[in-house]
Structure 1
Amino acid sequence: HELIHVNQKHTLDILFIEILKVIFWFNPIFIFYKKAIQLNHEFLADEKVVKSHNNVPFYQNLLLSKANVNPTYYLASNLNYSVTKKRLIMMTKNTSTTRALLKKGILIPLLTALVFSLCTKVVAQETPQKEGKNVYVNGEAYYKKTTFEIKDEKGKVVAKKKYSDLTAKQKQLAPPLVIRSNNDKPLSEKEIIEKIEKEEPKTFIIDEFDPKNSKTKQQDPNTIYNTAGLTEKPEFSGGMDAFYKFVGDNFVTPKTPDGNTLRGKVYLTFIVEKDGNLSNFKIIRDNFGYGAGEEAIRVLKTSPKWTPGEINGEAVRTLYSLPIAIQSKS
């Protein structure tokens, strides 16, 4: 019996489960796994002995004699089945092949269902909107069946794009999203989805050079825009390096009472007008002091014209802010 344990390398199984118990010390289930594995080892060894000698009663009596060498006395009745009793029952137990195959067949779908349940990814779902409520429609979803043909200056189609591939300016020229019916009643989410699904693939032409697309409709021509909302940002001729060189060449550093070296920054805002001139100068913060902010405004008033900011090719008034670093030398 013990030789069979050695030949079947049952020691490796015990070492493996002991390693798992060390790693997963907080999980008590591995204690029961170890007991089950040890019991199964005894069953395997008993099976080999019975098949080799074909004398079950003799082997059972031998096990009983070994078990009674050092009897254990309990203070109370032992109601649990001992390992020896389980081994004796297993020796005389017959399991039909059909029943064994049936158990294995039931185990396969159970394991498959367990694997799928553990591998299922839960995705947050959007809460359905109530009927009649106006909803936001993503442009990419709305135009998923639409192809946009892009024209060049000569009116020739040079590219075909999906909505997601369009530039910010090209997206502004795309037809507006229809989220209302003909009677101006807001469409529900369901109606919008049905509208998108039923529509046949379409093709829209985007011509940035068409005169009617080169102007931006403004309610007030004096509207002031932030740089974030522009298609073209305002720029000093030659770039910002040239601008700071212009400031350095013309800025007169204020004198300090004690003549010490001072460093600081002046933060200003101004408006780049449609013709490129600068106006509406404001000092946001003057870390330097001694009139440095006023001197910075004086220099900006002498600045050459800038290239104005644009929206779809139309010049607009743009609010611009920048810091000017100042250093005085003793």
Structure 2
Amino acid sequence: MIDFIIKSSINLLALLLFYHLILEKEKMHQFNRFYLLFSIIFSFIVPFITIEVIDKSAETLVQTNTVMTGEATMVIMPETVNYTVIIIWSIYGLVTLLLLFRFMRNILKINSKIKSNTIIDYKNAKLVLLEEKTLPHTFWNSIFINETDYRNRKIEAELYTHELIHVNQKHTLDVLFIEILKMLFWFNPIFIFYKKAIQLNHEFLADEKVITIYDNIPFYQNLLLVHVNTNPAFDITSNLNYSITKKRFTMMTKSFSRTRAVLYKIALLPLFSGLIYFMCVQSVAQKNSLSSAKSTAKNNESITQTDNSKDKRRDAYYAGVRIIVQNKRNNSSIDKMYEELTLEEKKTYLNYVPEPSTKKQPSNKEYNDFKNSKKYAIWIDNKHVSNAALDNYSAADFAYYSGSIVGKNARTAKFPQPFQFALYTPKYFDENLKNSHLKYGGDTIKITISENKGNLKKSPVYKTDSIRKLDEMVHSLAEVEKEPEFPGGIEKFYQFVGENFKLPKTADDAKLKGKIYTTFVIEKDGSLSDIKVTLDIGYGTWKETLRVLKLCPNWNPGEIYDKPVRTLYSLPITIQSAD
């Protein structure tokens, strides 16, 4: 066993050094992928190969030997138990079982995440829409993306293509293979470096394909750099970090030399031949001692995020919201952004964090009772309807419902009923309610704490402005009933941009092309405000984009309940320099 470990480690190290010094720097990624995999297999096979070479000098030596006779003796040694070997194998087995348990647990978590989230067919892959904020990453034929970014079209086509390459070329097989080896040979750190080399090679392969399809290296590099800067803490399989991204940038701009590629492939012949000769033909004198192996570091590629504590959910839900508190009990007030609140203030004033809405249908008996117009006021997908409209549906047509009692002082001539119920179709539930617990729907919360004249130990009474006026909110496209529209349609908008956008002279010289990603708020009167450029293609294009959007004619605003509302809109603008 020791001999196998030593010989295989020497082969692994020699082949890995050749890869890092020579092959990794060349644009021959498909060949490099199979080189790395073959290097591992080759290193495991070589220790079991023995090539016998007849040495004539050894034969002569045998022929000249003389046989000496003498008294034969036999020494009987007492049977002993080698506890050292038992301890070593016990430690190895225990650590391996723990790593196997962790490996299987991660596989089960990934499988559970796939089954518990929305899945959308995308070409020959499946998009798994996650609630948590995450960069796109891939396992097998599943591409994990953030659902909000997907719904709001914030994931660039280049990222989809990048992850699709991982699926099509079955890169997960390589990762699983090296992960199993890391688990079995956890005491050998060489496999950690092999895994890093394999994963970087996967990124080279995906980058090469994206560049071939879109032919825009500066834009793609800028896109990657934005994600590195904005998401440095992501701990996923396709995690981006500065050192790896720098290598990828360098590789993108390299040219392929067929001559060098052929020469390096030829150079492999003496390398492999030398290793076979050194390991299989010649006997290598090596001391039977090895430094005690160090256990591998914890797996830095945790695909799932398990910290769903209330504090974490609260921070995500109220992020970016302005909090205004009037506390009449102690004559104090607060006017801060949520992130500026202390933990105690967060728990005191914003202890409520909504739980996910689970689907529930009314029973047939309840549904038939809802048709009583004297008893119930009915809303379907947040639109008031007559009770007779329920005849056009059945209980099975709704994914969720909720209701409440209406006090006598709250009833009106239009809604005199003592009960009100809201029913939601599956489509509306998926688009508006399913993920409503992830992010608060507005930008301001007003809280008033009235004086409590009873027992001072009793909790204060809260009046939270959780349902704020429509004109104070900025809605997403998923929240509005009628989406905002540029007069004449989106094509007219792009025509307006094309007629007014002026490329800087330096950009003309560079034959600039790519996409500029923008966000802006369409006000109730259709004007644009809060204009931002989230990603540009350099040469001052962000300034020109802001200038053009400020000149933009008014849009037809979004609407809720037939009333215009403020709507957040995101839009890519494609730039192509004239040839």
Same fold by TM-score greater than 0.5: no
TM-score range, shorter-chain basis?
Answer: 0.3 to 0.5
TM-score w.r.t. the length of structure 2 is 0.24
The structure whose RCO (Cα within 8 Å, separation 6+) is larger is: 1
Bigger Rg over Cα: 1
TM-score w.r.t. the length of structure 1 is 0.40
